Amino acid sequence: MKGTVTVDESLCKGCALCIPVCPKGLLRLAGARFNARGVHPVELLDPASECTGCQLCATMCPEAAISVYRAKQAA
Ligand code: SF4
Ligand code: SF4
């Protein structure tokens, strides 16, 4: 794993701006549930641990709902 993201679903407004910018196509709207704002929040779907931690999604998000974590490089 190189990176991963978490989404603060309470902040997400479901605008989907983050979805097309992910080079790995790992983000999607959680179609089965709504958040407190009444929208489908974004979720990470990364079963093969492809997230690179590139931060493009977090940079795009107008609500600062996405936090990116990157694995430390071995020394
Ligand atoms: S950090 Fe990069 S690879 Fe990971 S979900 Fe966000 S845009 Fe995709
Ligand atoms: S850009 Fe931010 S607010 Fe918009 S769908 Fe993605 S996580 Fe939610």
**Residue 1 binned pLDDT confidence (cut-offs 50, 70, 90):** confident
CA-nearest residue, atom 7 of ligand 1:
22
Give yes or no for residue 53 CB within 6 A of ligand 2.
Answer: no
Ligand number nearest to the C-alpha of 17: 2
**Residue 15 binned pLDDT confidence (cut-offs 50, 70, 90):** very high
CA-nearest residue, atom 3 of ligand 1:
51
Give yes or no for residue 5 CB within 6 A of ligand 2.
Answer: no
Q: Which pLDDT score is estimated for 75?
A: 64
Q: Which pLDDT score is estimated for 55?
A: 98
Q: Which pLDDT score is estimated for 22?
A: 98
Return the CATH class of domain 1-75: alpha beta
- How do the domains of the chain map onto residue ranges? 1-75
Query: Where are the strands (E) in 1-75, listed by range?
Result: 3-7, 27-29, 42-44, 66-70
Model pLDDT for residues 32-42, shown as the tens digit of each residue: 999 999 999 99
